[in-house]
Structure 1
Amino acid sequence: MPNFIDRRLNPKDRSLGNRQRFLKRVHDELKRSIRDQVKSDRIADVDAAHGVPVPRRGADEPSFRHSADSGERHHVLPGNESFSAGDRIAKPQAGGGEGSGRGPGRGEGDDDFLFVLSRDEVLDLFFEDLELPDMVKLNLKETVSYRSHRVGFTTSGTPSNINVGRTMRNSYGRRIALGRPSEQEYLEVVGEIAALEEEANPSQPQRRRLAELRAVLDGLERRRKRIAYVDPVDVRFNRFERLPMPNASAVMFCLMDVSASMGEREKDLAKRFFVLLHLFLKRRYERIDIVFIRHTDEAREVDEETFFFSKQSGGTIVSTALEEMQRIILDRYPSNIWNIYAAQASDGDNASGDSDLCATLLRDELMKLCQYYAYVEIIDERESEIFGTTDNGTSLWRAYRIVDGAVPNFQMTRIARPADIYPVFRKLFARQPVALRA
């Protein structure tokens, strides 16, 4: 049987095994705290480390200690004015007196302590009840793509990356430093020797000069052979480094129906959906803006807190949200610069005749600007059995079915519980090449 040894370093001098055991022991408490924080925090804060308060009760490691109700102990108490040596001091009753050792300000109960969860641990706890497989978790945590960037020179590399200019400068400097004869100096000696050899009757000084030049030429040739014109030490290669690609900017439009029919459960499911979509896009874009649009019978752009927690309600006209989105795109997010994504959450209720207008706006206007548009219809759990396998549904659902069949980057689904959110993202991952191609 093979033996597996985990040689990974413990994070920041902490015991990884102890940390994992602690996470398992307080799993339910951590999960509840993360769920409460996700409901109250901003979407962008989900993808970060979290400090989670954990009750001290049940979180302490087991240990052995002396019982305060038995045994003999000897203490030296300085400043004694009431007892003499040999006097017997009565023990305080259990739970009484001030012998608990808890210090000033003690009282009933224990304070909570703050346990810091890493980003990956937060995502694991957040995704747990969404029934996401490990493959999807890795996709949500993947790093951005990289490109090669030239950052200097190196002494090793492939021949195709040789930098000729830097190599020749190194060669020239080395030849000067080592005194390698230049080509001009060599040719001058050769030319003078050739001129003297052409003399028919050379004089005695000319013969001596010829002998000297031949000796000089022999030395020059030996030095030229010893000191190469280009030596391996001169060769330099272009050096490249992998840098994150400067991804294009992206904007995500979050459209939510906040009419009287959208209750707290529907809004909670909508926020979970928007959180997952934000995490997906954040992995692929260095900069991403989020635009929140809420609508009843009129639509307006709001901040995140107003988007999720405002108590406003009223009738429903969905086309007002689509028109507001189109106006914002034309004003601030030109489609030739920005990658535009949109997510719409609604319970499907709409004014009579407005659903057809919504389908026309999407098919003829908005889908020409968007890389991806996801429509999520939040239904009651009892309705999931009725609508799960049929095309029946609200007027808005039936109108969007026409858009779904005509536009490839439009997806729609129904959600009745948190575990139903994953099919939307399974479709989103399947449409990813189309989105990136645009």
Structure 2
Amino acid sequence: MDIIDRRLNPRGKSLANRQRFIRRARQQIADAVREASGKSSVADLNGGGKIKIRRDGINEPQLYHSGKSGEHTHVVPGNHEYVEGDRIPRPQDGQGGRGREASADGEGEDAFQFVLTQDEFLDLFLEDLELPDLLRKQLKKAESFLPRRAGYSVSGAATNLNLVRTMRNSLSRRIALKRPRPAEIAALEAQLDILDESEENLDRRRELELELNTQRRRAKRVPFIDPVDVRYNRFEMVPQPVASAVMFCLMDVSGSMTEHMKDLAKRFYKLLYLFLSRRYRNVEIVFIRHTHVAREVDEETFFNSRETGGTVVSTVLEEMMRVLQERYPRDQWNIYAAQASDGDNLSSDNAKSAALLEKKILPLCQYFAYLEVGDEEDGFNLGSEVWRTYERLDRAGHSIAMRKVNKRNQIFPVFRELFARDQPARKAAS
């Protein structure tokens, strides 16, 4: 049976060669993706991206004709100055041609440019990121099942055919039924060919012919492989403990948040949404917007609604607690939160916000990330109310990560810092 891959290749490219190249140069490509991500915006993900990698490590060995032996004839098209046998003088120092990016001492290496699709770019960018401290929780009714080997069966799909067990059964059956081996039949045929047809060999020839016919009939009656020999790998579906997680996206949309600040926050949450949807199957996302009041909204409203108002941070924390108590028990869910704000808050509300975080929310959370957004030109609100409040909690030893961004090209690096794998401590960045 022939298996033909009829998947469409990318336009103008060989899919098999492309995948082979990505596997071979994966580390260099991944490093280039992370470097390029610092100069890109989230909107650039729609088209993948162009990256450049060094040629060392991707070159393959090649065979060349030796330049030290043999006869060489060079034909240069369009040559009107030289004829065969002329000696061309070496250019004077400094007169040799040099590309714009060549090094001054003649050393250097060209960069290799490679275009990644959106999926390839995201897979490489997100491959070493993870939700911190994700724990397996109790089994739930509609959760996933994984196949586990459970012996063999006499029927099944061709892809589950167990060749080793099938051939073992075939050999055992042939030995038990004394099926003649091909070598034994060949030996009888060789003996028969040696004997001539004289009278003295007539009886011996008859004996050999009778035995040979008997062996051939037995070989036909006992096939090499019989349906009773065939065995298939059997699998049973076993329920798996699922690492169920919920991510709370808490966004400040008050009047103090400029359009640029809201754009930074939305870009961060879009990247977070891509990360969660591509890397995890059992993560739910709760969207909460807040001004002086907070409410849970759907994805469309979270990213596109234009409401505004004053700023009271404790309202979003109270709304998060309400949703937690109603739908996400701590013993069944890994709880995460990501908050984005410009740091503005009522001074009288800071103590209440700190108490909610310290006594109720942070003890329940596996991880709490705070992103403070600033103006692109004026920078950040130094010593903002929220930043000082959260900084005190961080110094007190609570699990809270804090970062600041005020430009679009900072979103990628900051996101990687917040969700990097095997990062023992995520300290606040001033």
Q: TM-score, normalised by structure 2?
A: 0.49
**Structure with the larger helix share:** 1
- Which protein has greater RCO, CA pairs closer than 8 Å, 6+ apart? 2
Larger Rg: 1
Q: TM-score, normalised by structure 1?
A: 0.48
